[in-house]
Structure 1
């Protein structure tokens, strides 16, 4: 006796569920195996950490910041150098990031030629800024300039890829409207595509700027100047109070950059046109105070 269509459907659902649970179980087992091998590779030992914990707690007593060192060494000036590295590197990287990001989009450059530009961005993105810094040492030595160049090259790949992804998601309506008017290819790209993603482009640029400021701190630890270099020198001298003072300044710098960037992105999302950038800058202190009181 043949089963009814409903029974057959129920059987298929049960089978699908069993297969799904088997796949879930295999995924969990694979995840556990990878985690276990990773812990072995990093020589993780809970017993060693437990034994070292009292020593770590005792060492924390030496990690009290020397607040006077901030003023004596003018650490906020050094943090300004770090901020300048991140800012200049971002600005220098934007033109090529925009160019390669646009040309890397399949909507602008046909396949497979667009992958030439994607490949250039991929190389820039695959090599960390830290390695780029080491590559450019013969050009500018251990200096903030080498760090700035490294940040700029890294920005080209990271920001360009984000630009490309945004362009792939634009709607076809404005593009088709431009084409029906007889617009050229460049006009279609500028007014039909870039006009749709200009807000996203600015938001992603601000995000990359935040990342680049953190990268600038790391490059300073290698001799790239700024607050990172001060921290590295004090750590080498085993002067941990001074080192912690530098870390406190880094925290202040990163938080300040993130707060400013977040407020600008929030302003852009609200799509306010009146007053433009001047209104944004003038009203920034008031908006920050209102946010702090919420």
Structure 2
């Protein structure tokens, strides 16, 4: 009897027009969604096709000049020999090291560890140390204002529209790349490491301050209310009720911006800011592509070393973050370097 009843119920359910209508609605929504996806892909491909024409990629005749490109690679990589298998001449690597030693790219014997007049400990790393010093000093110089603007830019601290004043300042700073900030500071001290450091510091205020503001917007209300119930004033509430919740993210974001600033220091060096970037620019002007590649290798080592240090520290601060390995950092270097050009 119960079997007949369950069978009848199932039959009625299958024939229920409301369920059939729901199924039809689901089918229609799926068709519409896939149609929209197809239209979106078509629009992207249309603009992509036109973008290739806009950058004259089709007119470049890359295939025609590809053999010349292979020959030119031997200028950058002297150990390549396409005339004989396996196309590698190990003796070519010595040209890299000879230039690195000659120009003190990774070690300067004239710098003293204890004498600041010779550059101090960072200058002992040669031109790489100068690049590292610009990124490090620029980060620390910009940190106080980044922290101040980041706090005052939060609506939890200042009501709208007062907080928007500081948000607007940070947005204005971010709208101008660090490369342009360096050019703005040229009348102040000419092109050199000093103006490059000031440009990095200014850029840090906008980028790091905005990250601080976003973190403060996500803090829990509980500790803030607890501080207010104890009679704490505004600064005490901000310090112990808000900043105490974001200490770890603040340190992590500061280290991340430090990574970016070191890459920016390389970029600013190309226009005369000093360090590895200036060496790279000089060798490019001399059309000495082997020395250019030697400098690029030192840049890669410097950037990856900084990132490994930063990510190891951040991985200790954030339990859910797995530090990237050496190979991942190496393969991702071109993308990160390109992103730093827009900072």
Q: TM-score band (shorter)?
A: 0.7 to 0.9
What is the aligned partner in structure 2 of residue 97 from structure 1?
Answer: 146
SS at match of 1:166: helix
Separation in 1 of the partners of 2:183 and 2:151? 29
Q: CA deviation at 1:46?
A: 8.2
CA distance in 2, matches of 1:270, 1:17: 39
Give CA-to-partner distance per residue, 1:26-77, whole Å, 9 cap, x none.
Answer: 2112211221222122111287222222111111111135321111111120
What is the SS of the residue equivalent to 2:206? Answer: helix
1:238 CA displacement: 1.0
Greater mean deviation of Cα atoms: 145-154 or 108-117: 108-117
1:75 partner SS: coil
2:203 corresponds to which residue?
154
Match of 1:8 among 3, 12, 21: 21
Counterpart in the other structure of 1:30: 43
Return the alpha-carbon distance in structure 2 between the equivalents of residues 262 and 183 of structure 1: 36
Aligned to 1:228: 277
Instruction: Tell me the distance in 1 between the aligned counterparts of 2:249 and 2:189.
Output: 34
Give 1:270 deviation, angstroms: 4.7
CA distance in 2: counterparts of 1:30 and 1:107, whole angstroms:
41
Give 1:192 deviation, angstroms. Answer: 0.9
Pairing partner for 1:70 from 76, 94, 100: 100
Whole-Å separation in 2 of the counterparts to 1:109 and 1:23: 42
- Matching of residues 44-59 of structure 1 within 5 Å: 44-45=57-58, 48-59=61-72
1:142-181 matches, within 5 Å, as 142-181=191-230
CA RMSD of aligned residues (A): 1.7
**Which runs of at least 4 in structure 1 moved beyond 4 Å after TM superposition?**
none
Shift of 1:21: 1.8
For structure 2, the residue ranges without an aligned partner over 5 or more in a row are 1-15, 78-94, 107-125, 321-325, 327-343
Q: 1:256 aligns with which of 286, 305, 317?
A: 305
Task: Measure how far apart 1:82 and its partner are.
Answer: 0.6
SS in 1 for 2:61: helix
- SS class of match (1:53): helix
Structure-2 residue corresponding to 1:203: 252
Question: TM-score normalised to the size of structure 1?
Answer: 0.88
Measure the CA separation in 1 of the matches of 2:60 and 2:188: 47
The correspondence for 2:55, drawn from 42, 45, 55, is: 42
Give the SS at the match of 1:107. Answer: coil
Q: Which has the higher contact order (CA 8 A, sep 6+)?
A: 1
State the partner residue of 1:79.
128
Equivalent of 1:121 in 170, 188, 199: 170
Structure 1 position 18 matched with structure 2 position 48: no
Q: 1:190 aligns with which of 219, 233, 239?
A: 239
Q: Find out whether 1:132 has 2:190 as its counterpart.
A: no
The equivalent of 1:215 in structure 2 is: 264
Secondary structure of 1:110's partner?
Answer: coil
More helix by share: 1
